[in-house]
Amino acid sequence: MKQKKRRIALTVVCLLLAAVLVAAGVMFGRLGITLLSVECNEETGVYIIDYKEDYKLQQLLDEGGISTQDELAKYIIRILLKGLPIPIDYDVPSLACSTFAA
């Protein structure tokens, strides 16, 4: 009887873990693909990333835009974490650059 209860408990735990992994894959799968695309051009030292997510720039404009680097950092963190309430400590760097190519 104990063996059967253990097996049932283990099955339930495995199913819950599988459900969590599937949900994480659905929520963050494209982000993982994006992170795997990072590469460095050896000749120039420039890092290249193929960003697969939606920047949600229209949403940003609809919300009134941003006026500071801190607001932009908070917006990006919210988008990357899919709105999950995970606190992140960060420092906004004094310089940065992005180039977009289609």
DSSP string, 40-56: E-TTT--EE----S---
- pLDDT attached to residue 16: 92
Q: Do 1 and 46 fall within a single domain?
A: yes
Q: Do 39 and 73 fall within a single domain?
A: no
Q: Do 4 and 45 fall within a single domain?
A: yes
Higher pLDDT, 45 or 13: 13
**pLDDT tier at 46 (50, 70, 90 boundaries)?**
confident
Residue 69 lies in a domain: yes
State what percent of residues in the chain have pLDDT above 70.
89
Into how many domains does the chain fold?
A: 2
Answer yes or no: is pLDDT of 96 > 60. no
Q: Do 2 and 45 fall within a single domain?
A: yes
Query: By residue range, what is the domain housing residue 44?
Result: 1-50
Q: Length of the chain in residues, anyone?
A: 102
Q: Which 8-state DSSP code applies to residue 39?
A: E
Q: Do 25 and 61 fall within a single domain?
A: no
- pTM score: 0.50
